[in-house]
Amino acid sequence: MSRPSVLIPVAPGTNRNDELAVAFEAAGARAAQVPLEALRTGETALTDHQMLALPGGFSYGDALGAGRLLGLDLTGWFHDQLHQGLEAEMPIIGICNGFQALVHAGLLPGSDLPASLTDNDHGRFECRWVWLQPASKRSVWTAELTEPLWCPVAHGEGRFLVDDPEPLVEGDQIAFRYGDPDGQQAHGVYPLNPNGSIDDIAGVTDATGLVLGMMPHPEDHVFGRQSPHRRRVNGNRCLPLFEAGVRAVSG
Amino acid sequence: VTAATIGRRFFVYGEVGQAQLYELVSRVLHNEVIERWNFNQLAPGFTDDTATAPLTEHVDIASLDHDGLTELSSTRRLGLTADEMEAIQKWFNSNGRHPTDAELETLAQTWSEHCSHKTFRATIDTPDGVVDGLLKTFLRGATDAIAAPWVESAFVDNAGIVRFDETHDLALKAETHNHPSALEPFGGANTGVGGVVRDILGVSAKPIAITDILCFGPDDVNSRSLPPGVLHPRRIRSGVIAGIADYGNKIGVPNIAGAIFHDASYTTTPLVFAGCIGLLPRGSNPTEPQVGDYVIVLGGKVGRDGVGGATFSSQTMSNITAEVAGSSVQIGDPVVEKGLIDVVVAARDLGLYNAITDCGAGGLSSAVGEMADELGARVDLAAVPLKYAGLAPWEVWLSEAQERMVVACTDPEPLLALAGRWEVEAHVIGHFTGDGRLTVVDGGETIVDLDTDFLHNGRPPLRLAAGMLDTTRPPRTDPGRLPEGVTANEALLALLAHPSIRSNEAVIRGYDHEVLGGTVVRPYGGAALDGPADGTAIIPPGSAPLEQEQSVLEQSEGHSKARAAVVGIGASILVGRHDPEAMAWAAIDEAVRNAVVAGADPRQLSLLDNFAWGNPHRPEALAGLVAACRGCHDAAIAHGAPFVSGKDSLFNEFVYEHGSPDPVTPTLIITAVGIAEDVSLIPSTGVVADGNDIWLIGPAPGHLGASYLDEVTGGDRGGEVQPPDPGAVPRHGQLHRAISSGLVQSAHDLSEGGLAVAAAECAFAGRLGMTLSVASTHGPAELFGEGAGRYLVEVGPDDADAFAELVPSATRVGWVTDDDRLRIGVEIDVSLDEIGEAYVGHHYQPAPANLIARAATPDGIPADAPEEPDSATEPQVESGGDENGDDR
């Protein structure tokens, strides 16, 4: 069948849209990078596409908090399109700033589960490679992942907090936990858990498992040559994550 | 709500006197250049939208004499000499009218050191004869002599352009942003990054990488010893680093390479160098505006910030500079510049403009002035979008912003629509006339009417005199021995902890070096990703077709044969204090070494120069500058590496209240950019596998004059500084041949601290031991001496013969061990944790075993441990063959 199309909206200050598009194209999709203004004026609509991917960056300069204004867009003028997509069981992924926007918009982890992404424990922006343990067995994004993923984080406000992670565990909504190369959880130990997220949570899904948000950047480790190691043991690329999403809409 | 503002409130606890409170505010909490403060309550500082703009002023200069002209230049901070003022006076007299304030400012900006590089173009009388322009004779002179086929454009536009592959070019630029960073570290460094990114955009290239080199005073300076107006080095350091991180991270361009140096002379004059690399399809940078083309301004609105940046940065600083020059520091807005990148790249690909340039120093005056150079242009300021009311016409015309470009378009409509799609401001403000005049009107009033030939060619040439340079050095006291009571182990650990050598990983991790997904060699790598890399490499996003990437996916975990752009940076500030010419050779050699270790072919390197110097009107400062430029010329030709762009920052002197100048240490930063054909062959950072051999390329003893060993063991003990060494040049090519043949598993250059520091970094980065022996006894020259063209290289034992044949200047000096100790002869024996504690600092923690990556075989499975050599045995020093005549 033809390659499914993933819509990648680009807000002012969004900046990881190019490599996100490359990651989806490598996984077999077509990527449409569209500025928000072109979405607002109806140049294209979410329903013209099969998937939605919200990239990382500093949308609107992170004024009023990371992802907050983009979150307002999602609940404002983009609301109807977004809910049409959700009703059509469209896979949606938000990475870093996109995750922050989905949380602010109340889509993650869910309207009845308030959560926040706040300043890293150590209070600084930090760029470093982390190991991710896939957890959720019901999300289309993670159910088939068998190996840990290895990719960089690059954020200052990535500490995921909820009052009680238990409902997320019970709902199988934890997509990824920070861990180590052997598949062990980080148990809050820095730098394995780079930001102090509760229960080492690096990514969550909504109740359906279709909407995934995560702080780390799998789009930056799709190809082997992106690994920091050349003559050392290598692997744990993140392409399977994008392939899982594409497979879900390829029938 | 019609307006909102933000402020910060500090609560101070404890017994604090009024005097202490004032000191706390002025030294720590508040920067008077950009902030206001008060006890308890502070009235919000809203801009006044009803403010009326001051009228254009006509300045009577016709009757002024020499002193009067000098005084006018000084009171208006024009930064022009009496000769230049007289040329202006003469032109206006012959035109029978007075200049406007806008015209004086336009001329001052265009003729400033910052914009016209008048020192680098000046005729210089030296004791050895007349130099007809440093730029022409030495920098462009070397480029012309080399005539490299890969250089598409050098020294003509905002950035140099060199070939990357069959279809794409790289745009290269490195800038200085020292003066603003001294006053307002965050804003200065922030806009330093913005400015150099904008320079790359000014040649129609998409920015793909940022570099930064920073020079600060010592962390432990007593703040009470600082003169008024000087911020503490720690405050400058944290502000500058935060400013660079903020802009680079938000604009989404990876910061991939840099360095931080600490020296007492940088206390009053900190230095900030920011570089950028861009990618553009070959031939896609149009540079010819046409008569009738519209002048379009793209990007941020105009405010009062950044007015007079070029004239300000071309003058020395004093304790009053902070008060009068505050408005010269701009306020950065990386989100606007990110939008500009998207619009300019899309417009370029659609062929929507005929010329483009940036609103750098001098704002619209220099951008439109440059583009109108031959044609002439007419601009109406009423069409320029403003942040707030009340700006004088000359301020609108002169205000600099990082986030503003000017383009020439035959049909503006498609560009305006494209800008609207990306939510970027775009306004038609005038047109190119063909009448050879630069005309600016503000509503009905003409505020600038200048002949473009006078504007660009009317500046009287500068003639300067250089003094004698004495580079003789006293002989070394007690050669061959360390100072009394210092062991080689202690010296090594002290070197590793020196502020200019120690790990900057904590700083670098505050920069996003992964965004765009093209980074191949990071600033820190190795088994635990905390070892220092020499150079760095990036596959320019968009340069490799996806099909190529995907064909690679079919090989499990394989690497593509993708081509990367490589950056190496060199500096030699200690040598520069004594011998600027030798510094130039040393800096270029180091930049080349760093690039070669990161995979670059030394036969295709391009160089950027950044000079930070004192006042060139002092003959002794100028003598050093001439010598450094001569060194640049000779070394560039020896390496076959042309200069393609650069930036000089002069007048880096702080003038105390009593009038004595405190000049900066003459500083030359060299950035070398090259090509790695196949990223899979780039050597690893840190040693990879025990049992491998370690080879030393180049001679074992180095030079101890102006060395870091002396820095950490009580000061200068004399001796030769590392001299110009053309004989070292062939060694870079030999190493590259071995890398291209796949023989080199890891490599590291010998730089600050010599062999011992390099070996410690290799072992630490690889989390493996090393046992080395380079001589029968290891004195300070062997362990810590510094010099050109030296590397430590890790090669598999089976590849020894092939390596020795390709690299006749190499000597096998030891091997990698699976224990955790670095041993050099009997003189050095330290553990990896001791190295880590010195190099990383007190917060060092050993990495857990499962986070230390081990050697891979080609199919991605850890190699079986090879047989262990007996690490306690001294390895025999073996010659690798023909010494090539350059070993001593």
Is residue B387 pLDDT above 60, yes or no? yes
Average pLDDT over residues B361-366: 85
Is residue B551 pLDDT above 60, yes or no? no
Q: What does pLDDT average to over chain B?
A: 89
At a CB cut-off of 8 Å and minimum separation 6, what does B565 contact?
Answer: B164, B170, B208, B209, B277, B537, B538, B539, B540, B673, B674, B675, B676
* Interface predicted TM-score (ipTM) of this complex, two decimals: 0.96
Instruction: Give A171 to chain B, closest Cα distance, Å.
Output: 31
- Residue B822: phi and psi, rounded to 5, are -100, 125
B737 touches chain A (CB under 8 A): no
Mutate which of A3, A17, A30, A232 to test chain B, going by most B C-beta atoms within 10 A?
A232
Tell me which H or E stretch contains B365: helix B363-371
Q: What is the pLDDT along chain A (251 residues), one digit of tens a residue?
A: 589 999 999 999 999 999 999 999 999 999 999 999 999 999 999 999 999 999 999 999 988 889 999 999 999 999 999 999 999 999 999 999 999 999 999 999 998 889 999 999 999 999 999 999 999 999 999 999 999 999 999 999 999 999 999 999 999 999 999 999 999 999 999 999 999 999 999 999 999 999 999 999 999 999 888 999 988 887 889 999 999 999 999 96
Query: Which residues in chain A are contacts of B682 at CB distance < 8 A?
Result: 230
Please provide the DSSP assignment of B12-55 as one string.
--SS--HHHHHHHIIIII--TTT----SS--------TTPPPPP
For B518, the token pair is 């093209």
Nearest by CB: A15 against B251, B422, B680: B251
Beta bridge partners of B661: B655
Is residue B550 pLDDT above 70, yes or no? no
Round to whole Å and give the CA distance between A31 and A51: 9
Three-state DSSP state, B90: helix
pLDDT at B499: 94
B349 touches chain A (CB under 8 A): no
pLDDT tens, residue by residue, B23-61: 888 777 877 666 788 888 888 777 677 778 788 889 999
A129 touches chain B (CB under 8 A): yes
pLDDT at B332: 79
Looking at B66, B98, B117, B177, which residue is catalytic?
Answer: B177
**CA of A184: which chain B residue's CA is closest?**
B850
Least confident of A104-108, B157-161, B515-519: B157-161
pLDDT tens, residue by residue, B587-646: 999 999 999 999 999 999 999 999 999 999 999 999 999 999 999 999 999 999 999 999
Nearest by CB: A181 against B520, B683, B851: B851
For chain B, how many residues are written?
888
Mutate which of A41, A223, A246 to test chain B, going by most B C-beta atoms within 10 A?
A223
Number of H helices, E strands in chain A: 7, 11
Nearest by CB: B513 against A22, A127, A229: A127
DSSP category for residue A61:
G
Is residue B329 pLDDT above 70, yes or no? no
B517 touches chain A (CB under 8 A): yes
pLDDT band with cut points at 50, 70 and 90 for residue B804:
very high
Average pLDDT over residues B759-771: 98
Total-model pTM:
0.93
Closest CA to B801 of B657, B685, B695, B714: B695
A12 touches chain B (CB under 8 A): yes
Tell me which H or E stretch contains B726: none
**CA of A27: which chain B residue's CA is closest?**
B550
Beta bridge partners of B439: B378, B449
Instruction: Give A38 to chain B, closest Cα distance, Å.
Output: 6
CA A148 to chain CA centroid, Å, is: 16
Taking an 8 Å cut-off on Cβ atoms, the answer to whether B338 and A13 are in contact is yes
Interface of B with A in 547-586 (CB under 8 A): 549-550, 552-553, 557-560, 562
Is residue B427 pLDDT above 60, yes or no? yes
pLDDT tens, residue by residue, B166-180: 999 999 999 988 777
Is residue B331 pLDDT above 70, yes or no? no
Asked if B735 contacts B596 with a C-beta cutoff of 8 angstroms, the reply is yes
Query: Which residues in chain A are contacts of B252 at CB distance < 8 A?
Result: 14-16, 57-58
Average pLDDT over residues B288-299: 96
Is residue B251 pLDDT above 70, yes or no? yes
Nearest by CB: B525 against A14, A35, A228: A228
**CA of B517: which chain A residue's CA is closest?**
A220
Round to whole Å and give the CA distance between B501 and B531: 12
Is residue B873 pLDDT above 70, yes or no? no
B865 touches chain A (CB under 8 A): no
Quick one: angle between helices B754-766 and B488-496, nearest 10?
Answer: 70
For chain A, how many residues are written?
251
pLDDT band with cut points at 50, 70 and 90 for residue B315:
low
pLDDT at B698: 98
Instruction: Give the CA distances from residue B204 to residues B200, B307, B347, B665, in Å, rounded to whole numbers and listed in that order.
Output: 7, 26, 9, 35
pLDDT band with cut points at 50, 70 and 90 for residue B181:
confident
CA B258 to chain CA centroid, Å, is: 8
pLDDT at B265: 87
Closest CA to B520 of B580, B579, B573, B566: B566
Residues of chain B with pLDDT > 90, as a percent, come to 70
pLDDT at B879: 46
Is residue B554 pLDDT above 50, yes or no? no
